[in-house]
Amino acid sequence: MLYRARALLAALWGGLLLCVAGVAAPSAFAVLERAQAGKLVGRVFELDAQIGLAAGLLLLMMERRLQRDARVPGRVFTPELLLPLVALFCVVAGYYGLQPLLEAARAGQGAWSFGALHAVSSLLFGLKTLAVLLLAWRASRAPA
């Protein structure tokens, strides 16, 4: 049962990330003024970060439980454990770490430009999406 829950949670999180990147953000900038679209997308990314923290922590706890129940010696850092850790790192660094820097750059402060910080943020979002989708794929192949 826990295998299925892990696969479902990873798939739902991956779907959310694809919808944010492929539908919500581009649509907002297509129909709204730039400032309004930025506010809307900022709110979407805030929700994405909150959901990502919860989903990542749940996936870590599920994997630790599955490892404990399997009692396989010597296998501490499996891909199923490392992938949610990578995704969580990307959530924390990409949203909670870069968001204050992006706000400062938007106000003309800080050493980095808004464009450079946005590129780093986009890279972290892409890495997070890749890690979550890879986890969903690997979890779907696990024993039921």
Please give the tally of structural domains in the chain.
1
Residue 27: the pLDDT is: 97
Task: Write the DSSP assignment of 12-58 as a string of letters.
Answer: HHHHHHHHIIIIIHHHHHHHS-HHHHHHHHHHHHHHHHHHHHHHHHH
Of the chain, the percentage scoring pLDDT greater than 70 comes to: 95
Statement: the pTM of the whole predicted model exceeds 0.85: yes
Q: Above 90 in pLDDT, residue 59? A: yes
Please report, for residues 8, 24, 90, the alpha-carbon distance to residue 115 in angstroms, rounded to integers and kept in the order given: 35, 20, 18
pLDDT at 84: 96
Domain that holds residue 13: 2-140
C-alpha closest to that of 10 among 97, 108, 115, 84: 84
Predicted confidence band of residue 74 (pLDDT cuts 50, 70, 90) = low
Rg of the chain (C-alpha set): 17
Convert the pLDDT of each residue in 10-29 to its tens digit: 999 999 999 999 999 999 99
